Chains A and B, each alone.
Chain A
């Protein structure tokens, strides 16, 4: 395999991403924050709980809202990273195939504190299965709430779909401009990818697992 995950993780971690003289972290063409997992978990699970308590029939809609935020995150964050000079310097030289774009991005994400992702299966252009251990969403959920009756890694789940959409639907390898129009075009395509969190530590599984497939196979 061309992608050397250890080199990528160690290099990204070693970049020492921290605020500049303005207290901002401009990197990968984005403004990053080294934010609090507790904050994301409280606001995400808080809004989910509020909506479901008031209208249980809105559960799917509430999950869809959080998943949409994850799609936006993946499109801009992963897309920005894969279009950046840092990517060109670190990851691009390791890339030999389109699938390496997926594996390279997964390696970068493993330096972001989200937990440890591992690609279990990648069927080019069709299917991705990813295992995640120490997910900040599932572990954070279990710190504050009883065991869940369904998956809770909304960000990671939507992020995996977003990654496949960027690589196989939006063709990030051609460096398109990451506009709202492109986002809508990519994610509204009937053959675009969606992810399902098949296993989740928040509901008692040993780890989290995501299966990403096209909406219409």
Chain B
């Protein structure tokens, strides 16, 4: 069973929204090229911006979406977030090991890892920054935590040669 809710499209204005926030289609070429542009420009500061932006964007959408969804447990909210993530084309993320104190999540077929490898091959360090931010946002929304209390980091990445992408989410 999927918990995914379909986005709302306003064809006259060319606008699509989910949870009150705008969605836009883009392909892997743009996504990984833009990420690389930012990494090149900001160097060691880039991951902080990319993860924070992922968290901010996903948290805004998920908060709005939770208002539209049927109520349920925090685990249900995480499951809804994972289904939305997959429906949006980012890959399949397993959130069953995430809880109020954080935990670990694994991601199969990460869009960013697949896209990066197809364009440039392997990279030296993990590169799924958006996914890391998304998971932090999902935990913050599911457990109604202040965003400052949640951090997330990718510890294994297919784009860096690992077998799968995995993330450690910490709640402080």
B89 in contact with A112 (CB, 8 Å): no
Give A14 Cβ to nearest chain B Cβ, in Å: 10
The number of residues on chain B lying at the interface, defined by a beta carbon within 8 Å of a beta carbon of chain A, is 54
Task: Tell me, yes or no, whether A145 is within 8 Å of chain B by CB.
Answer: no
A interface bracket (residues with beta carbon within 8 Å of B): 35 or more
A75 to B56, CA, bound (A): 29
Contact of A47 among B38, B85, B87 (CB under 8 A): B38
Given contacts A22-B91, A24-B114, A40-B24, contact A9 B11 (CB under 8 A): yes
Give A68 Cβ to nearest chain B Cβ, in Å: 7
A23 in contact with B85 (CB, 8 Å): yes
A43 to B115, CA, bound (A): 18
Q: What 0/1 readout, one digit per residue, does chain A (30-50) give for beta carbons within 8 Å of chain B?
A: 111111111110111011001
A residues contacting B by CB (< 8 A) are 9-10, 13, 17-19, 21-25, 28, 30-40, 42-44, 46-47, 50-51, 62, 65-66, 68-70, 72-73, 75-77, 80, 110-117, 133-134, 136, 139-140, 155
Q: Given A44-B34, A77-B26, 17 more contacts at CB 8 Å?
A: A23-B91, A23-B108, A31-B89, A33-B26, A33-B31, A36-B24, A40-B26, A42-B56, A43-B35, A46-B49, A50-B42, A50-B45, A51-B41, A69-B33, A72-B29, A73-B33, A113-B16
